[in-house]
């Protein structure tokens, strides 16, 4: 992994491992951010953390403008580690400059009757670190296909394109990461799909996730389509699931 300071000022970055979970609606949250509900607790309880056996260096770095730093990561798996998939997230967060903000005296300056506040946006990115023990088990299904016309999309608000709602179902023990494609049956896998969602994932703590695939045209009643989920992880392009759909 490479950190690059594209700014015009020196910047300091903190690097740490943070456990995050994928919620049923697709959001990826830290354990602390997850809702305090029974459903969320069940999702959190299914996470297998890789935090204990993923090492990295450095943990903090200051870079001049245009300078970069390589982060070295390695997994040291215990000999008795049970089979399965383990995950944590390597998180890089920019630290605020030391001269950012206001002193207490500046914030409550006598020349102003209003308390001053200075806000700054800080860069942060989280990259999943996945450790798999044993043979990979990536099986999938696509279910609950539902066509949403453009005028009905976005809860009645105007929308540019119609969509096809698809549930991607994780049937194996490992996470899924791939592409959802909607194709005309007559295409026979050739040509461009009429709709696609690239880089769609389902982590092991949830069993399914719904995706709204935007289509490049309206469907004709009775039109036959094929929905395909292709692997973009272990074996790029391998078809993991397919389902037929007839437009209403």
State the pLDDT at residue 156.
46
First and final CA of the chain: distance in angstroms? 47
Beta-strand ranges (E) seen in the chain are 2-4, 11-18, 20-22, 28-30, 54-57, 60-63, 68-70, 72-75, 84-95, 124-133, 140-148, 163-170, 176-184, 195-202, 208-214, 224-231, 239-246
The mean-pLDDT minimum among 127-136, 178-187, 192-201 falls in: 178-187
Torsion of CA 199, 233, 235, 138, to 10 degrees: -100
Dist CA 60 CA 210 (whole Å): 37
pTM, entire model: 0.83
Could you report the per-residue pLDDT of 148-174, keeping only the tens digit for each?
A: 997 654 454 445 689 999 999 999 999
Domains of the chain, start order = 2-133 (2.60.40.10), 140-246 (2.60.40)
């Amino acid at each position: 992994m490479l950190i690059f300071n594209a700014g015009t000022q020196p910047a300091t970055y903190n690097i740490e491992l943070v456990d995050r979970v994928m919620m049923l609606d697709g959001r990826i949250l830290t354990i602390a951010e997850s809702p305090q509900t029974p459903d969320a607790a069940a999702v959190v309880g299914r996470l297998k953390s890789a935090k204990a056996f993923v090492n990295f260096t450095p943990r903090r770095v200051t870079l001049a403008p245009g300078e970069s730093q390589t982060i070295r990561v390695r997994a040291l798996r215990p000999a008795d580690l049970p089979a399965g998939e383990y995950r944590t997230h390597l998180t890089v967060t920019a630290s605020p400059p030391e001269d950012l903000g206001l002193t207490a005296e500046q914030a409550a300056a006598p020349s102003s009757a209003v308390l001053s506040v200075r806000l700054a946006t800080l860069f942060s990115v989280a990259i999943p670190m996945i450790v798999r023990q044993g043979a990979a088990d990536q099986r999938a299904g696509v279910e609950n296909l539902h066509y949403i016309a453009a005028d009905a999309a976005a809860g009645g608000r105007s929308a540019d394109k119609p969509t096809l709602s698809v549930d991607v179902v994780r049937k194996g023990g490992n996470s899924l990461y791939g592409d959802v494609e909607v194709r005309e049956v007559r295409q026979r896998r050739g040509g461009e799909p009429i709709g696609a969602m690239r880089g769609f994932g389902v982590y092991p703590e949830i069993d399914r996730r719904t995706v709204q695939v935007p289509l490049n045209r309206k469907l004709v009643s009775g039109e036959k389509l094929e929905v395909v989920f292709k692997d973009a992880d272990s074996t790029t392009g391998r078809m993991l699931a397919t389902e037929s759909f007839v437009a209403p």
